[in-house]
Each structure stands twice: as structure tokens, then as C-alpha cells.
Amino acid sequence: MSNRRCPRCQTAYAAPARFCVKDGSLLVETDQPEAPKAPAPGLRASSRDSADASGGPGLREPIPSSLASLTGQVLDNRYHITRKLGEGGMSYVYQAQDIDTGQAVAVKILIPRLSRDPASVERLRREATIATRLNHPNVCPILRLGETSDRLLYLVMPFLEGEPLSEHETRRGPFTASEGIPLLVQMCQGLGHAHDLQIVHRDLKPENIMLVPDSDIPTGFRAVVMDFGLAKERRAGPDVVKLTATGIVLGTPEFMSPEQIRGKPLDGRSDIYALAVLAFELFTGQLPFTGKSAQETMIARLRGAPAQLREVKGELPAKLEAVINKALAVNPAERYGSMEEMAHALESSVSGGVLGRLFRR
């Protein structure tokens, strides 16, 4: 039986649907046989999976019996597995302790078909090389790409005690401008750092943002951009472009920029578009593009007909609506030219203060 329903039009959906395709509203749980389990700290819990090369969600497949539960084992004589955090469409995630450093880490073991496909292995090695260059408090880097005795690839990342933004939104509802803008500026900071290194995220969404408790930040949370698994260097050569075209994942449909939908070359302005979609959801609880079907919703993005922020939530500032509209422009040239520009605009939409006060690298 379907267990999710749109609170506005009452249309029923089966999991893992998260938004109503008719009006963009965030679905609510109903007729649930049991209460959903809370996500484990540090795990990216997602019902919006990245699309694979065929356009469908990543397919889950059984992990070898020897790796069904690694708790208590030591991986590669270095990572002592302490508990299983969960699993997603393309990986199994464990918390571990790095024996050499004592650091708590998250170990993401990738499904077998990724490890068997030479093109996927090459893409993942490139991903790990790129992500190790990231060094910013608002970005989660990859520390190591390794291989198990069963020839499965795994990624090691810092373990973050926190909650995915998607789960936080679902639990507490839409944010006010004063609550949400500081988090968005932090995301701009992290993504701006990546763009400085010629790295485009390409799969920005609430599931890929971790909120880490931080008493030194007025909002109480530090926003950390996760999963640079779709990261692509802006100045990629023909071999890399070809590799990406045959890769496993291409992005998440609800947040793809028009140029990403069309398969065009991407730069940091594609992330700016995705961040605007994320911001619209953050403040309203729904997506800026709607339609009678997922296809109609995608066509609406290509035509550039977003809902207006203040039509959904009238108390939000008009300047904030203007910022999001600019970032949602179909033509990348009409968007902000950098994450720094977008951060300045977001801050000015509520504070009117000195530009750049919140933007630090």
C-alpha cells in the first residue's frame, strides 16, 4: 500500500517518492506499518537517488556474505569497523576507527557492479583524487579510496555527527529567512572552495548536506556539503568527458539545471541553479517547478517557469525571492557568476549590510 500522501491535493504515492509531481509539496507519511527509523549520525539518508546512466535510480544489489556485517572486523589492517550505519542505492556505510590516527571515519563500501566495471572504477579513482584536494570546513573530503580482499572498492571519509538537511527539514518544516540564509551562505562557502579548484558538484540536494552541531556558529549548525561523487573538473579533457558520459550516476532529476538535463557542458553556475532549488525547498517545503507528471516538471524547468517564492510563503523578503529567481535563470549567463556573488546577494536580502561579511574561504 502507498504510504506517502500530498498534504495539499491528497494524491497518494509509494516510497521512495518524496514530492508531489502535481504541486511540488513535500509528501507526508501515512498508513505507515511502523515508525521510520531515525537516520544514523553521519549517514546520508536519501529517498531521492541520483539517476544512473539509463535514467533510473541506482539499483541495489546484495553485498557478498563475507561483507554483510563488518562490525568488529578490521579492514585492510587499518580501519576497525564499529557499526553499520546503513545502506543506500549504491553503497553500504559503516562507522570505523582509523587505527593509525585514532580518527573516527565513515567507510562507504560500493556495490559490486561498480567495482566490476572498469569505466566506473576509473571514474571513482578520479573522484577520490579530486576530493582529496578539498580542504574546507563546509566540505566533506574523501580521505582514501581502497579495495577490500573481495575486490570491492571503498571510500573513507571523516565521520560527521550530524543529520542530513533533508531529514531535518522533514522533522521541523520550512525555515525562516533568518534561519536558512546563514546555512545557505555556508554552502556557498564550501561550493565556492570547490569551484576555485575547478570542481563542480553536480548533485547538490538536501540529502547531500549534513548539519553538524557547532556551538561556535550562531545558528547552532555547520552545513557540510557531502558526496562529491558526481564531481567533475571544469577543465576536463575529452577522455574525462567521455568517461562521465558512460558513468553510473548523472545527477538527481529534481535539482538538475536545464543545461544538465540537456547534457550540456557544466560549470559552477549549474551548482548555483541547484542551490536555488534547494533554497526554495528550504523556505517553503516544496519545489519551485510542478506539473502533472515528472516529465512535465522537467519541461517546466527547461522553459524557466518557477513558482514565485512569496506566492507560496508571503512573509519571506521580496529581495530573497529576487535572489532565487536570478539563480534559477534558464540561461547560465543570467545567473550569479560565482558562489561568492550569490552569498553576497543572500546576505543582503535580509541584512542590507556590508557585502561579504559572512563569506569566508
The residues annotated with a catalytic role in the active site are 203
| Radius of gyration of the CA atoms of the chain, in A | 20
Residue with cell 550505519: 85
Partners of 209 in the β-ladder: 225
Q: Which helix (H) or strand (E) holds 344?
A: helix 339-348
- Backbone phi, psi, residue 43, to 5°: -95, 135
Those residues whose C-beta lies under 8 Å from the C-beta of residue 143, and which sit 6 or more positions away, are: 105, 132, 156, 157, 158
Q: What is the DSSP letter of 111?
A: P
User: C-alpha grid cell for residue 21?
Assistant: 509531481
User: C-alpha grid cell for residue 83?
Assistant: 557499526
The distance of Cα 185 from the centroid of its chain, to the nearest Å, equals 16
Nearest to 186 by CA among 229, 147, 145, 222: 222
- Backbone phi, psi, residue 51, to 5°: -80, 145
User: C-alpha grid cell for residue 253?
Assistant: 532529476
**CA pair distance 328, 272, nearest whole angstrom:** 8
Q: b/e for 200-214, b at 16 or more Cβ within 10 A?
A: bbbbbbbbbbbbbeb
